[in-house]
Amino acid sequence: MLSLTECRQRFRGVLAGTKCLSPASVYDPLSARVAESVGYEIGMLAGSVASNTTLAAPDLIVLTLTEFADQVRRMMRVSSLSLLVDADHGYGNALNVMRTVEELEHAGVSALTIEDTALPIRFGQPEGTDELISTAEMLGKLKGAVRARQDPSLVIVGRTAALKVEGTQATVERAKAYADTGIDGLFMV
Cis peptide before 152 (omega within 30 of 0): no
Query: 125: which DSSP letter?
Result: P
Q: Which of 109, 112, 110 is nearest to 97 (CA)?
A: 112
Predicted confidence (pLDDT) at residue 126 exceeds the cutoff of 90: no
The residues pairing with 83 across neighbouring beta strands, listed in sequence order, are 43
Q: Are strands 82-86 and 111-115 parallel, antiparallel or unpaired?
A: parallel
Backbone torsions φ then ψ of 147, nearest 5 degrees: -65, -35
| CB neighbourhood size of 70 (10 A) | 14
Predicted confidence (pLDDT) at residue 37 exceeds the cutoff of 90: yes
Domain of 46, CATH number, reads 3.20.20.60
**Domain count of the chain?**
1
In contact, 91 and 47? CB cutoff 8 Å: no
Question: Which residues fall within 8 angstroms of residue 115, CB to CB, at 6 or more apart?
Answer: 86, 88, 89, 158, 159, 160, 161
Q: How confident is the model at residue 55 (pLDDT cuts 50, 70, 90)?
A: confident
Average pLDDT along the chain: 95
How far is it, in rounded angstroms, from Cα 114 to Cα 101? 10
In contact, 43 and 32? CB cutoff 8 Å: yes
Q: How confident is the model at residue 161 (pLDDT cuts 50, 70, 90)?
A: very high
Strand, helix or coil for residue 79: coil
Q: What is the distance in angstroms between the CA of the first residue and the CA of the last residue of the chain?
A: 33
What's the pLDDT score for residue 62?
84
Domain extent at residue 157 = 4-188
In contact, 130 and 179? CB cutoff 8 Å: no
In contact, 11 and 157? CB cutoff 8 Å: no
What's the pLDDT score for residue 123?
82
CA distances from 29 to 53, 54, 71, 76, 187 (A): 12, 12, 8, 7, 26
Cβ-based burial of 13 (10 A; exposed 0-12, middle 13-18, buried ≥19): exposed
**Overall pTM surpassing 0.85 (yes/no):** yes
